Structure 1
Amino acid sequence: MSEHVSQTNRVLSYPKGEKPAIIVNEWQVWHGDETELDNLNPKQKVLVPFSWWLMHGQAQVKDSTSELAKRIQEKTIGVWFAADDDILKHLDVIEAGKSIWPLVGADFPVFRDGRSFSTAALLRERFHWTGEIRAIGDVLIDQLILGARSGFDSFALRADQNTDVALKQFDLFSVRTQNSWRDCRSQLSNQLTEAV
């Protein structure tokens, strides 16, 4: 596998309304240039950078003869957002993406950079994204609870993270102090609602 493509073998999947589970990862994260994408296995599912999609991918959707257009139709192309991508500037692109991207990712370039939590929350709350959102990059067990609350429903954990420990994270706390896109209301919100 080239340095321009990364893939972990397993991901933690935690769809809304379901229990977390470790599943086989079918998606590569592509970091490279346009020519290398053509050299990837056409059957392989690939997340391309959103910045690349803006420059190259949108035009390919309408060109039914291109190889990329075929992959888009086969639902083997998704996008990933860099931590500094301003998704609010691209409402129309993301709206169109709802019908063609089977998966989107949000990258954590380093574990202490939390901007991708905001990306997931914006996708869920403002864009009403109902598809899968995957945390990619430097994803640690410590980020899972906040990630699940923010809008992520799958996590490509860093290779050194223990998946057995990761699965147990969601059972650590019985009281919630913040609301969640998973329809979980905080204890405080419930008390205020009951008082009214």
Structure 2
Amino acid sequence: MQVIKDKQIIDDSWSYIADDAELKDGDISVSLARWKNDKQQLLHSNGKKGVRIGPADSVDEIAADLKDIQLVELDFPAFADGRIFSHAWLLRGRYNYQGEIRATGHFMRDQVYYLSRVGVNAFSLKKSEDLPVALANLDDFTVNYQKSIL
């Protein structure tokens, strides 16, 4: 599978591990609940670590662990839920997170430009044929009225 990262289409090395699945080595992401329950085991596994955050989750809960997390996935269960935008801004603005922030789930291609303005630098889309269009959407506007977080 491929994703957009830093305005390029690249192969994705990450795997999401469901809460009821066995942990494995490699570049893996887990839910916030699993991170909190299995943090010590995850920290001692081989590979990069990621945490998936939903709209109802609090970014504050991983703030102290951001030094150990290379990927924060912001999961859109529905495209109409804007709390994910705030999560991205908090990660970059308040916590100065420098790792990858990836939008995943049910966001619209038209939202990628606005997500990038609040700190999202990677996008996982359901259909690989949508990647070129979403990549082009990152350059939708040349003039901005407000400052970007990046």
| AA partner of residue 37 (structure 1) | E
Residue 95 of structure 2 aligns with which residue?
127
Deviation at 1:161, TM superposition (A): 5.6
Deviation at 1:55, TM superposition (A): 2.4
Deviation at 1:76, TM superposition (A): 2.5
| AA partner of residue 49 (structure 1) | S
Superposition CA RMSD, Å: 1.8
Deviation at 1:11, TM superposition (A): 0.6
Give the whole-Å Cα distance in 2 for the aligned partners of 1:178 and 1:163.
Answer: 26
Residue 173 of structure 1 aligns with which residue?
141
Residue 13 of structure 1 aligns with which residue?
5
Is 1:100 the equivalent of 2:43? no
The count of residues paired between Structure 1 and Structure 2 equals 150
TM-score (norm 2): 0.89
Deviation at 1:31, TM superposition (A): 2.8
Deviation at 1:102, TM superposition (A): 1.3
Give the whole-Å Cα distance in 2 for the aligned partners of 1:165 and 1:105.
Answer: 21
Native 8 Å contact 2:71 2:102 kept in 1? yes
Look at both structures and tell me which one has the larger radius of gyration over its CA atoms: 1
Is 1:117 the equivalent of 2:110? no
| Pair 123,176 (structure 1): closer, same or farther in 2 beyond 3 Å | same
Alignment of 1:34-183 (within 5 A): 36-38=21-23, 40=24, 42-43=25-26, 45-57=27-39, 60=40, 68-71=42-45, 74-88=46-60, 90=61, 93-95=62-64, 97-159=65-127, 162-182=130-150
| AA partner of residue 54 (structure 1) | K
Give the whole-Å Cα distance in 2 for the aligned partners of 1:69 and 1:176.
Answer: 40
2:12 to 16, 20, 25: 25
| AA partner of residue 24 (structure 1) | D
Sequence identity of aligned pairs in percent? 32
| Pair 169,110 (structure 1): closer, same or farther in 2 beyond 3 Å | same
Unaligned runs of 5+ in 2: none
- Other structure's SS at 2:44 match: helix
Deviation at 1:98, TM superposition (A): 2.5
Relative contact order (C-alpha < 8 Å, sep 6+): which is higher? 2
CA-to-aligned-CA distance 1:59-109 (integer Å, 9 cap, x gap): x1xxxxx5x3432xx343211111100223x3xx422x2221111111101
Deviation at 1:162, TM superposition (A): 1.5
